Structure 1
Amino acid sequence: MLITIPQVLDPAQVQAIRARLDAASWQDGRQTAGAQSQSVKRNQQLPVDGPDARALGEEILRALTQHPLFLSAALPLRILPPMFNRYETGETFGVHVDNAIRVSPLTQERLRADLSMTLFLSEPDEYDGGELVIEDHYGTQAVKLNAGDMVLYPSTSLHEVRPVTRGARVSSFFWLQSMIRSNEQRAMLFDMDQTIQALADRLNATDAEVVRLTGIYHNMIRMWSEV
């Protein structure tokens, strides 16, 4: 299930974050690449334990955990601190799959990577190329979103960042462990939750059938969740 989460950050937030990132010192992204990714990763990355990454990551998480579409789609249990990367002309990240287990650089806590996230911090007209290409059950999808928008997709997916041919592509990327391990079960719960919300808007939240469906939704979470 690949889902676009619009307007995680508003334009003022994006502008403030970009000002700090554009003034930051970047390092070779291969320093945090796994064994398979080392040979295909060519980008720049903000030091994960530096003050810029920590402060900006906290701001992103505050905004994200207040976004109802994100909460409905991800059902997050644990979220790794956001990281930041930059692709300039000629830089790319070839086809790879994310590591199944990630370790928080701040707490050393281990986390199962169920969902991967990319939050775009450059407008599409700031750079050419740089599309995030994700393979899923419906084929290959190329993603290039407005600054402040985010894409959420299963960490099991093969994906790549195409070479940037002009400008700079700046983004935040991170992972989460969901309360619902199965992608299929998460997709079913997301569809049900969105349907319940639509019915509640059309009828009202206290309608007997809406209440009944809400109860079924929460009982399914009780049955499938890992907390």
Structure 2
Amino acid sequence: MITKLPQVLSAQQVSSILQLIEHGDFISGIDTAGWHAKEVKNNQQWQGGSELNEQIQQGMQGALTQHPQFSGASYAKSMMPFIISESALGGGYGNHIDDALMANETVLRTDISCTVFLTSPQEYEGGELVMNLSGMEMAFKLNAGDAIIYPSTTLHRVNPVTSGSRKVALTWIESHIPQASQREILFDLDCARKDIIEHYGKTDAFDRITKTHANLLRQWAMT
């Protein structure tokens, strides 16, 4: 399930992050690529002092986890620290699959990949996030502050930037519900019961859907 999360960051929050990263440096992103992705990775990744990085991490993680759609779409168990990436003229990232396991304080299984856009589409040409879904390609280029989450099992790329600069923040999430198809079922049930509450109040249909949602979550969740 691919889910767009609008306005994860406000315009003020985006501006603040862009100002903070001016106090660090961008270095080659090749060092963080898996061995199979090094040949197609051509971007820069931000590096700054520990206090500055902690400030950015807290702001980004807080904004993402507090977004009203995030919890019901991800069932997040743990999350990798955000990486801030820049792709300038010619930069991008060819077709690749994200590593299945990533190490932070502990080893995390990557169930969900997340991109938060920090520059508006008008600021650069190219740079689309392109996902390959059973041979069909879908391209995304969202507004600054918007995010997109998608299964980490998805083959994807970032098209080369032909002008301007594309900045994004990236993280990976381990979910209590590892299977993307199960997360989608739970998400649909959650949306359905919220619609019922909004239009009809707490009905018998709401209670039955809530019961089913809770029992499936109980059956599928890995703690």
Classify the TM-score, shorter chain: over 0.9
Indicate conservation of the 8 Å contact 1:58/1:81, yes or no: no
The equivalent of 2:56 in structure 1 is: 56
- Which letter maps to 1:10? S
Secondary structure of 2:171 counterpart: strand
* Equivalent residues in 2 for 1:15-26, closer than 5 Å: 15-26=15-26
Moved over 6 A (4+): none
Matched, 1:215 2:211: yes
Aligned residues: 223
Deviation at 1:49, TM superposition (A): 7.5
Please report how far the alpha carbon of residue 19 of structure 1 lies from its aligned counterpart in structure 2 after TM superposition.
Answer: 1.3
Task: Give aligned-pair identity as a percent.
Answer: 35
SS in structure 2 at match of 1:26: strand
Q: Please, what TM-score do these two structures have when normalized by structure 2?
A: 0.96
1:145 counterpart = 2:142: yes
Does the CA-based 8 Å contact 2:111-2:172 persist in structure 1?
A: yes
| Partner of residue 72, structure 1 | 72
Q: Could you say if the C-alpha distance between residues 32 and 19 of structure 1 is closer, same or farther in structure 2, counting changes exceeding 3 Å?
A: same
Q: Residue type matched to 2:121 in 1? A: P
Preserved CA contact (<8 Å) 2:23 2:48? no
- Match for residue 129 of structure 2? 132
CA distance in 2, matches of 1:49, 1:27: 14
Q: Does 1:85 align with 2:85?
A: yes
Could you tell me how far 1:23 is from its partner in structure 2?
Answer: 3.9
Q: Deviations over 1:19-56 (max 9, x none)?
A: 11234211110111110111111110013884433321
Distance 2:101 2:205 in 1: 41
SS at match of 1:46: strand
User: Is the contact made by 1:102 and 1:113 (CA closer than 8 Å) also made in structure 2?
Assistant: yes
**Equivalent residue, structure 1, for 2:181:** 184
In structure 2, stretches of 5+ residues that fail to align are: none
Structure 1 residue aligned with 2:14:
14
The answer to whether the 8 A contact 2:119-2:144 is kept is yes
- In structure 1, give the amino acid aligned to 2:117: F
Q: Give the CA deviation at 1:157.
A: 0.6
